[in-house]
């Protein structure tokens, strides 16, 4: 029986190369299509119904992992990656087929042999990838997207400046808006301090007053005034910030 396969990779040279290698080690395999992004891959799987997909993990648009999540039924996926530690760990653990770029002949031969064995034994012919995909994606999410605000857009005359939250010293409420203070500048942002408080990483930003959120890493020291209020002194900035009684507990046990 001859099998059909498609190759999905955003880099043309790498598709060509994998194709030439496959022709060499598995002459019977029919490469019925090449896709250069996630969407194309899904469409091609739908239309050509291949038994095997060589799927690059990192592709523009839909990533390889997101494609894999949508693949169901009788299509076997061979993940291809240049370097993704988490993914490779997960593949090893779950005994999923994968190839590392640059693809080497011996390794490809092994994979091909495995694929042949699996495809020829009818009992093992279906497999769902959603579980492993979730695993890998959640691991990747942990390192990249924390969901908290990292960039703040500041309107400046005719342009929009991007300020990294790491640069921010503190936020101060100003009516419905908020003023953002960095080392040497201050800018108005069209967001209330309440909204900001929900979007900022609470480990990095502490609300110390109804109208003040401070970047913890910019605090130089905190002292008590005669009346028992807390006063925060910042590094490199002169002004002192008041800590209201409700938030004083943040500084306890330090």
* Residues of this chain that bind other proteins (CB under 8 A): 10-14, 16-17, 20, 37, 39, 58, 60-61, 82-84, 100-103, 144-153, 159-167, 184
Pairing of strands 205-209, 177-181: unpaired
Using CB atoms within 10 Å of the CB of residue 45, give its burial: 0 to 12 exposed, 13 to 18 middle, 19+ buried: buried
Strand partners, 22: none
Smallest gap from residue 85 Cβ to other proteins (A):
9
DSSP-derived secondary structure letter, 211: T
Give the shortest CB-43-to-other proteins separation in angstroms.
13
Q: What angle do CA 63, 58, 33 make, to 5 degrees?
A: 75
Residue 20 vs 121, nearer CB to other proteins: 20
CB of 124 or CB of 201, closer to other proteins: 201
User: In whole angstroms, how close is the CB of 83 to other proteins at the nearest point?
Assistant: 4
Which tokens is 233 given? 């002194």
User: Closest approach of Cβ 38 to other proteins, in Å?
Assistant: 8
Of 190 and 224, CB closest to other proteins: 190
Specify burial of residue 163 (Cβ count, 10 A radius: 0-12, 13-18, 19+): middle
Q: 138: helix, coil or strand? A: helix
Strands 4-8 and 30-35: parallel
Minimum gap (Å) between residue 127 Cβ and other proteins: 27
Nearer to other proteins, 190 or 229 (CB): 190
Tell me how far apart the terminal alpha carbons of the chain are, to the nearest angstrom.
71
Give whichever of 82 and 231 is closer to other proteins, judged by the CB atom. 82
User: What 3-state DSSP class applies to 171?
Assistant: strand
Q: Which is nearer to other proteins, 108 or 243 (CB)?
A: 108
Write the DSSP symbol of residue 120. H
* Residue 37 C-beta: closest distance to other proteins, Å: 5
> What are the structure tokens assigned to 19, written together?
């194709």
Which residue, 183 or 224, is less far from other proteins as judged by CB?
A: 183
Q: How far is the CB of 168 from other proteins (least distance, A)?
A: 11
Q: Count other C-beta atoms under 10 Å from residue 62's C-beta.
A: 17
Q: Which residues have CB under 8 Å from 111's CB, separation 6+?
A: 78, 97, 99
């Amino acid at each position: 029986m001859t099998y059909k396969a498609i190759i999905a990779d955003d880099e043309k040279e790498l598709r060509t190369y994998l194709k030439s290698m496959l022709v060499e080690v598995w002459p019977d395999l029919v490469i019925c299509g090449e896709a250069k992004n996630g969407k194309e891959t899904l469409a091609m799987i739908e239309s050509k119904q291949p038994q095997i997909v060589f799927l690059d993990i990192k592709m523009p648009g839909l990533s390889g992992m997101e494609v894999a999540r949508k693949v169901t039924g009788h299509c076997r996926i061979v993940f291809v990656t240049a370097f993704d530690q988490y993914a490779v760990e997960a593949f090893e653990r779950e005994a999923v087929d994968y190839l590392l770029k640059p693809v080497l002949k011996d390794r490809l031969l092994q994979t091909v042999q495995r694929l042949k064995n699996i495809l020829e034994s009818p009992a093992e012919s279906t497999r769902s990838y959603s579980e492993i995909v979730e695993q890998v994606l959640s691991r990747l999410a942990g390192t990249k997207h924390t969901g908290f605000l990292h960039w703040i857009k500041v309107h400046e005359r005719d342009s929009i400046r991007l300020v990294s939250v790491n640069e921010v010293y503190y936020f101060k409420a100003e009516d419905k808006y908020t003023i953002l203070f960095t080392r040497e500048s201050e800018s108005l942002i069209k967001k209330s301090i309440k909204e900001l408080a929900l979007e900022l990483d609470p480990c990095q930003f502490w609300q110390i007053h109804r109208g003040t959120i401070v970047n913890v890493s910019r605090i130089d020291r905190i002292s008590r005034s005669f009346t028992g209020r807390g006063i925060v002194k910042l590094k490199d900035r002169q002004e002192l910030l008041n800590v209201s009684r409700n938030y004083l507990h943040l500084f306890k046990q330090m």
